[in-house]
């Protein structure tokens, strides 16, 4: 529904929709049970319909007025589409210039963005997506999404790229996936990065988002969206910032918090468990506790980290996080291997 008047509840009923479908299929005005439906057509493009509810029957002059209104509506919609496409091309050209040479004239790029009502110094989420299907529909859907969110879109280096202001990276990627995916009827895979402010930071975020997309495709996660922080140790390797502490918290956070709050030794138990190849007898010897204590601690760890932390991929992340946690922790703060707590 683009516009309505004269009714508090303009929602179409099933019968209304059947009349609409008949008018569209037959490409003519259909007047049934107090509802007159006229197609809004420009050439071979069906742009919509006008629906007129009426208590009194319409005569031929009334129908001609409705049909003329449909013609005027078509012209207005075509004009709006032309303006949107022209602005979309300008915005797309600016984004391509930004991604291709931000270092050459960052001030010029910011000024061009300002003339389009945008501010590149605002924080932008950067999304790089693989959207299969008709490239024209992909580009059109992306341009519309960028326009309504005051951002930019372009087809660049074989991928769809969007920068959207004032949005979290994953939120923006999900928005792109849903909107473009709906337009083409196929799943969209998208890597995200940001927020980034300024031409140089946006280009750096574009490079990171591209690596995220490549990682998703390599991992067989087609149709998903993610930023580096959501890709575990893979994200740690491909991210520009190498945010070690957030990675450690995302993997070991519940265990580290439990130890810090209760003075227990779950982290040390994990280290000893992996060091001894999962052998409970050798682990309890290293920790100087009873084997039942080791078992109880491992059960507690499972409740905190969730089932599956010993599966190969999760185990690799946990091992890496433990190593990095040791590097981040000063000797005075490291937990020892002794004590029966936990």
| CATH assignment of the domain containing 171 | 3.30.70
Tell me, yes or no, whether 211 and 128 share the same domain: yes
pLDDT band at 332 (very low <50, low <70, confident <90, very high): very low
pTM of the model: 0.54
Q: 266: domain range? A: 244-328
Alpha helix ranges (H) inside 27-105 = 60-101
Distance separating alpha carbons of residues 274 and 277, to the nearest angstrom: 5
**Residue 36 · residue 52 · CB < 8 Å:** yes
pLDDT confidence of residue 91: 76
pLDDT confidence of residue 234: 59
pLDDT band at 246 (very low <50, low <70, confident <90, very high): confident
Residue 174 has pLDDT above 90, yes or no: yes
In a domain, 23, yes or no: yes
Q: Pick from 1, 25, 24, 20: which is nearest to 11 by CA?
A: 1
pLDDT confidence of residue 333: 37
Tell me, yes or no, whether 275 and 230 share the same domain: no
Tell me, yes or no, whether 126 and 99 share the same domain: yes
Return the exposure string of 135-146: e unless at least 16 CB atoms fall within 10 Å of the residue's CB, then b: eeebbbbbbbbb
In a domain, 68, yes or no: no
Tell me, yes or no, whether 228 and 294 share the same domain: no
Distance separating alpha carbons of residues 309 and 311, to the nearest angstrom: 6
The mean pLDDT value of the chain amounts to 83
pLDDT band at 170 (very low <50, low <70, confident <90, very high): very high
Tell me, yes or no, whether 227 and 156 share the same domain: yes
CATH of the domain at 319: 1.10.10.2840
Distance separating alpha carbons of residues 40 and 327, to the nearest angstrom: 67
Residue 260 has pLDDT above 70, yes or no: yes
Tell me, yes or no, whether 229 and 251 share the same domain: no
In a domain, 2, yes or no: no
pLDDT confidence of residue 106: 84
pLDDT above 70 as % of the chain? 87
Alpha helix ranges (H) inside 239-277 = 244-262, 266-275
**pLDDT mean over 106-119:** 84
pLDDT above 90 as % of the chain? 32
* Range of weakest confidence among 42-51, 179-188, 201-210: 42-51
Tell me, yes or no, whether 93 and 228 share the same domain: yes
Tell me, yes or no, whether 226 and 262 share the same domain: no
Tell me, yes or no, whether 232 and 154 share the same domain: yes
Distance separating alpha carbons of residues 329 and 324, to the nearest angstrom: 9
Tell me, yes or no, whether 168 and 227 share the same domain: yes
Residue 330 has pLDDT above 50, yes or no: no
In a domain, 216, yes or no: yes
Residue 21 has pLDDT above 50, yes or no: yes
Question: Domain count of the chain?
Answer: 3
Tell me, yes or no, whether 93 and 229 share the same domain: yes
Residue 337 has pLDDT above 50, yes or no: no
In a domain, 272, yes or no: yes
């Amino acid at each position: 529904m683009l516009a309505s008047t004269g009714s508090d509840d303009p929602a179409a009923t099933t019968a209304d929709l059947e009349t609409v479908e008949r008018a569209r299929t037959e490409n003519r005005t259909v007047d049934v049970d107090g509802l007159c439906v006229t197609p809004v057509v420009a050439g071979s493009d069906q742009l919509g319909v006008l629906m007129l509810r009426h208590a009194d029957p319409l005569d031929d002059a009334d129908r001609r007025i409705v049909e003329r209104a449909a013609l005027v509506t078509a012209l207005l919609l075509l004009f709006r589409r032309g303006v949107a496409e022209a602005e979309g091309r300008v915005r797309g050209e600016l984004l391509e210039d930004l991604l291709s040479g931000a270092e050459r004239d960052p001030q010029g790029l910011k000024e061009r963005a300002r003339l389009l009502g945008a501010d590149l110094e605002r924080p932008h989420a950067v999304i790089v997506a693989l959207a299969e299907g008709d490239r024209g529909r992909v580009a059109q859907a992306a341009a519309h999404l960028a326009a309504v969110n005051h951002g930019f879109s372009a087809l660049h280096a074989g991928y769809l790229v969007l920068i959207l202001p004032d949005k979290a990276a994953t939120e923006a990627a999900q928005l792109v996936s849903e909107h473009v995916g709906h337009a083409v009827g196929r799943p969209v895979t998208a890597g995200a990065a940001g927020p980034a402010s300024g031409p140089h930071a946006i280009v750096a975020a574009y490079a990171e988002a591209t690596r995220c997309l490549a990682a998703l495709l390599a991992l067989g996660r087609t149709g998903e969206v993610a930023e580096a922080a959501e890709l575990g140790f893979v994200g740690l390797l491909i991210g520009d910032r190498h945010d070690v502490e957030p990675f450690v918290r995302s993997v070991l956070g519940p265990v580290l918090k439990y130890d810090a709050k209760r003075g227990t030794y779950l982290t040390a138990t994990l280290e000893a468990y992996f060091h001894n190849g999962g052998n409970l007898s050798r682990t309890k010897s290293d920790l100087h506790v009873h084997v039942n204590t080791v078992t109880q601690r491992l059960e507690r760890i499972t409740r905190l980290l969730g089932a599956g932390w010993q599966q190969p991929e999760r185990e690799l992340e946990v091992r890496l996080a433990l190593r990095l946690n040791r590097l981040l922790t000063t000797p005075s703060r490291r937990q020892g291997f002794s004590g029966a707590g936990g």
